[in-house]
Amino acid sequence: MLTRIGSLHAVPVYGVEALRQIETAAAQRLPAHTLMQRAGAAVARLAQARFPHARRIVVLAGAGNNGGDGLVAAIALQRAGRDVRVFACGGETLGEWACRLPPDAAWAWTEALAEQLPCSVANPDDLPDADLYLDALLGIGLRGAVRDQTARLIQKLNARTDAAVLSVDLPSGLDADTGIAHQACVRATATLSLIGLKPGLCTGPASHLCGELWLDDLDIHSGAERALPAPDATRLGADLIRPLLPDLALAAHKGKRGDVRVIGGAAGMTGAALLAGRAAALLGAGKVFVCLLDTRAPAVDMQAPELMLRPADALLEAIGDKTCLLVGPGAGLDEASRACLARALASTAPLVLDADALNLLAANDHASTLQAALRQRRAITVLTPHPLEAARLLESTVQAVEMDRLRAARDLAARFACWVVLKGRGTVIASPEQNVWINATGNGLLATAGSGDVLAGSVAALIAATGQASAVLAAVWLHGQAAERYAAKLGPSGMTAAHLPKWMALSWADLMAAHSAPAQA
Ligand SMILES: NC(=O)C1=CN([C@@H]2O[C@H](COP(=O)(O)OP(=O)(O)OC[C@H]3O[C@@H](n4cnc5c(N)ncnc54)[C@H](OP(=O)(O)O)[C@@H]3O)[C@@H](O)[C@H]2O)[C@@H](O)CC1
Ligand SMILES: Nc1ncnc2c1ncn2[C@@H]1O[C@H](COP(=O)(O)OP(=O)(O)O)[C@@H](O)[C@H]1O
Ligand SMILES: [K+]
């Protein structure tokens, strides 16, 4: 079934290894070339539905099965009356290219010959005009940096900003598992992912190059193909988030909603803790206590007088069982901050660690003691690092973290036996049991100081209200959804972190009201 991937429905995500298993199992059970027939037909169907006015269609076909999908689509589109030309990439001559084709693609090539499909070798310096380019150069078989002829063709294609590009399976040059671009990568208008969604289409530095995202599972869920390997991750959707949110209207009194206690806000950074506290209050916490570590900090937040500003001792003692602690926003790295972190780690309350709490865990002289205390915790514990904080905790580099965000999140969750929210576009959430989710909501409006503090406060509020670590998924989803809602309503600027919680609350209301079905072509 052909489905538009949006924010409504959660979707399983499969890495290349799992996809290969599915392919192999299907090849054993189905008549020859069935999956490629289905893949090519799906591409042609989407091309016609999504680009109905595209008359001239150029198909760029690599020498693998991704190219084979392109050939099958080309045949269908020519039969549908489109002006189709195929350009082969991956050989000096057409004969050389054809000799390299694997069996399924070689079958597609014989079909294309029988159909008298116009086909020639691609010349990167002479890419003809078209209304639509089908990018069937490279799929999940990409190995290493894109080689010269293909890379030059991709560069020429990307320079055609006036034409639409539909990528088959994934934008050529994109690593399906990690979302990194290998030297050159197609910038697609739309991508039709085949069989399953890949991690690299959901997170990673180049994942946004896929454009609008579509999926066709090629009916592998029916019949004998039902026994699929477990997905590597789940892309979050509203249907998964909705049941994770508490019903605040049912709270009998403020004690039932859960309390949040925030510790942070050292000199020069008091705003971070206040932003987290305000977010917790707006996301429904019954009571929010904030300890500002700056000794000269004000005693009240005049813009949010509902926050109760107290000293650290008051927040770290007599912690009720419906209370979530949050340590770190603007906390600084000094002894007072470290002492609070140590006491919070020793508590039995649910705990969210952000910003400087993560930096203390990674860098302080006492890091090994703090880390041991972290690993020993039995209560819910969530780390919310951005890539630099994750790199420090993993004793790695930002580049290495960004090269494989799923692995980095999983490694952190395993190393510290807790939940991890690896932030950035396509936030990755990993549980101690090594389950992984990828968030697809959000935009560059969130790239503003303090938006991480708001997220941390929201995570704490939802954990306090539900008592469930999985509420973290809801906080991340709402945080991104808020930025999208703002952008749709008011445009690409003007939002600061302080605005975010209100928009999160509105997104929450939208979510409760929504009852939509997936788009189908
Ligand atoms: N089989 C099936 O049942 C189904 C398969 N399906 C489809 O097949 C796709 C996977 O096909 P695949 O495994 O043939 O790999 P593919 O992505 O075409 O790449 C291999 C080609 O790329 C080349 N190449 C590699 N690296 C390169 C580089 N760095 N720079 C330049 N070139 C490079 C490599 O050349 P070689 O290294 O072998 O010389 C070879 O020519 C999958 O994404 C989906 O679209 C669907 O139809 C579902 C059913
Ligand atoms: N382009 C983007 N798309 C989606 N989310 C983003 C984007 N840029 C930033 N974010 C989100 O914004 C937040 C920024 O957090 P962080 O880096 O800790 O900021 P700060 O420390 O200033 O509060 C994270 O939740 C991150 O995932
Ligand atoms: K492709």
Q: What is the pLDDT of residues 408-457, one digit of tens each?
A: 999 999 999 999 999 999 999 999 999 999 999 999 999 999 999 999 99
What is d(CA 355, CA 370) in angstroms, rounded to the nearest whole number?
Answer: 15
Is ligand 1 within 6 A of the CB of residue 27? yes
Nearest to 345 by CA among 289, 415, 263: 263
Ligand 3 centroid to Cα of residue 186, in Å, is 8
State which of 137, 142, 183, 191 you would mutate to test the pocket of ligand 1, scoring each by most atoms of that ligand within 8 A of its C-beta. Answer: 142
- How crowded is the C-beta side of 258, counted as CA atoms within 13 Å? 29
How many other CB atoms are found less than 10 A from the CB of residue 347? 16
What is d(CA 347, CA 326) in angstroms, rounded to the nearest whole number?
Answer: 12
How many other CB atoms are found less than 10 A from the CB of residue 291? 25
pLDDT score, position 182:
84
Residue nearest atom 17 in ligand 1 by C-alpha distance: 139
The verdict on residue 484 lying in a domain is: yes
Cβ neighbours of residue 389 closer than 8 Å, sequence gap 6 or more: 355, 358, 359, 362
Strands (E), 299-364: 308-309, 323-327, 351-353
**Tens digit of each residue's pLDDT (9 = 90 or more) over 195-207:** 999 999 999 999 9
The verdict on residue 308 lying in a domain is: yes
Ligand 1 centroid to Cα of residue 100, in Å, is 11
What is d(CA 461, CA 261) in angstroms, rounded to the nearest whole number?
Answer: 9
pLDDT mean over 217-232 = 79
User: Could you say which of 234, 253, 271 is where a domain stops?
Assistant: 234
pLDDT score, position 226:
60
Work out which ligand 2 atom sits closest to the CA atom of 450: 23
Strands (E), 332-405: 351-353, 381-383
CATH number of the domain where residue 447 is located:
3.40.1190.20
Instruction: Kindly indicate the confidence band of residue 237, based on its pLDDT and cuts at 50, 70 and 90.
Output: very high
pLDDT score, position 240:
97
pLDDT score, position 516:
45
486 three-state secondary structure: helix
pLDDT mean over 255-272 = 95
CATH number of the domain where residue 128 is located:
3.40.50.10260
pLDDT score, position 223:
62
Residues 244 and 229 in one domain: no
> For 80, left (φ over 0), alpha (ψ -120 to 50), or beta?
alpha
The verdict on residue 147 lying in a domain is: yes
Q: Residue 64 annotated as binding?
A: no
The verdict on residue 426 lying in a domain is: yes
Looking at the predicted structure, is the pLDDT value of residue 225 above 70?
A: no
Q: Residue 256 annotated as binding?
A: no
DSSP assignments along 425-473, one per residue: SS-EEE-TT--EEE-----GGG-STTHHHHHHHHHHHHHHHH--TTHHH
Number of domains in the chain: 2
Residue nearest atom 26 in ligand 2 by C-alpha distance: 424
Ligand 1 centroid to Cα of residue 55, in Å, is 27
Closest ligand to Cα 451: 2
CA distances from 208 to 14, 218, 405 (A): 18, 24, 15
State which of 358, 386, 393, 473 you would mutate to test the pocket of ligand 2, scoring each by most atoms of that ligand within 8 A of its C-beta. Answer: 386
Residues 98 and 126 in one domain: yes
**Tens digit of each residue's pLDDT (9 = 90 or more) over 299-325:** 999 999 999 999 999 999 999 889 999
Helices (H) and strands (E) in the chain, counts: 18, 19
Percent of the chain with pLDDT over 90: 90
pLDDT score, position 515:
52
106 three-state secondary structure: helix
Looking at the predicted structure, is the pLDDT value of residue 155 above 60?
A: yes
Looking at the predicted structure, is the pLDDT value of residue 78 above 50?
A: yes
Residues 225 and 247 in one domain: no
Closest ligand to Cα 475: 2
Instruction: Kindly indicate the confidence band of residue 224, based on its pLDDT and cuts at 50, 70 and 90.
Output: low
The verdict on residue 521 lying in a domain is: no
Ligand 1 centroid to Cα of residue 293, in Å, is 56
- One-letter amino acid for residue 11 of the chain: V
Q: Which residue reads 């959660």 in tokens?
A: 10
Q: Residue 142 annotated as binding?
A: yes
Is ligand 1 within 6 A of the CB of residue 140? yes
Q: Which residue reads 């101690």 in tokens?
A: 432
The verdict on residue 518 lying in a domain is: no
180, 205 in Cβ contact below 8 A? yes
Residues 216 and 282 in one domain: no
Residues 149 and 272 in one domain: no
Residues 280 and 228 in one domain: no
Residues 218 and 274 in one domain: no
Cα-Cα-Cα-Cα torsion 375, 406, 19, 196, nearest 10 degrees, comes to 110
Residues 243 and 219 in one domain: no
ipTM for the predicted complex comes to: 0.94
Instruction: Kindly indicate the confidence band of residue 374, based on its pLDDT and cuts at 50, 70 and 90.
Output: very high
Residues 206 and 280 in one domain: no
Residues 225 and 244 in one domain: no
Q: Residue 67 annotated as binding?
A: yes
Three-state secondary structure along 393-414? HHCCCHHHHHHCHHHHHHHHHH
User: Could you say which of 187, 202, 234 is where a domain stops?
Assistant: 234
The verdict on residue 420 lying in a domain is: yes
Ligand 2 centroid to Cα of residue 252, in Å, is 35
Ligand 3 centroid to Cα of residue 44, in Å, is 14
- One-letter amino acid for residue 404 of the chain: D
Residue nearest atom 8 in ligand 2 by C-alpha distance: 447
Q: Out of 146-150, 224-228, 413-417, 459-463, which region has the weakest mean confidence (pLDDT)?
A: 224-228
**Tens digit of each residue's pLDDT (9 = 90 or more) over 27-53:** 888 999 999 999 999 999 999 999 999
Q: Residue 216 annotated as binding?
A: no
- One-letter amino acid for residue 430 of the chain: A
Cβ neighbours of residue 44 closer than 8 Å, sequence gap 6 or more: 72, 73, 76, 77, 80
477 three-state secondary structure: helix
State which of 451, 455, 504 you would mutate to test the pocket of ligand 2, scoring each by most atoms of that ligand within 8 A of its C-beta. Answer: 451
Q: Residue 141 annotated as binding?
A: yes
pLDDT mean over 109-131 = 96
Looking at the predicted structure, is the pLDDT value of residue 183 above 90?
A: no
Looking at the predicted structure, is the pLDDT value of residue 24 above 50?
A: yes
Work out which ligand 1 atom sits closest to the CA atom of 144: 29
> For 265, left (φ over 0), alpha (ψ -120 to 50), or beta?
left
pLDDT score, position 521:
47
pLDDT score, position 249:
77
The verdict on residue 178 lying in a domain is: yes
Range of the domain at 56: 2-234
Q: Residue 140 annotated as binding?
A: yes
The encoded tokens of residue 453 equal 């503090």
Cβ neighbours of residue 252 closer than 8 Å, sequence gap 6 or more: none
User: Could you say which of 200, 234, 268 is where a domain stops?
Assistant: 234
- How crowded is the C-beta side of 371, counted as CA atoms within 13 Å? 18
Percent of the chain with pLDDT over 70: 97
Q: Residue 68 annotated as binding?
A: yes
Element (DSSP H or E) covering residue 371: helix 367-376
CA distances from 171 to 163, 179, 287, 369, 384 (A): 15, 10, 48, 45, 30
Residues 224 and 307 in one domain: no
Ligand 2 centroid to Cα of residue 405, in Å, is 15
What is d(CA 215, CA 2) in angstroms, rounded to the nearest whole number?
Answer: 6
Ligand 1 centroid to Cα of residue 72, in Å, is 15
Residues 200 and 264 in one domain: no
Closest ligand to Cα 442: 2
Is ligand 1 within 6 A of the CB of residue 167? no
pLDDT score, position 86:
98
What is d(CA 88, CA 62) in angstroms, rounded to the nearest whole number?
Answer: 6
Classify residue 250 by its DSSP letter: G
What is d(CA 345, CA 367) in angstroms, rounded to the nearest whole number?
Answer: 12
Work out which ligand 2 atom sits closest to the CA atom of 497: 23
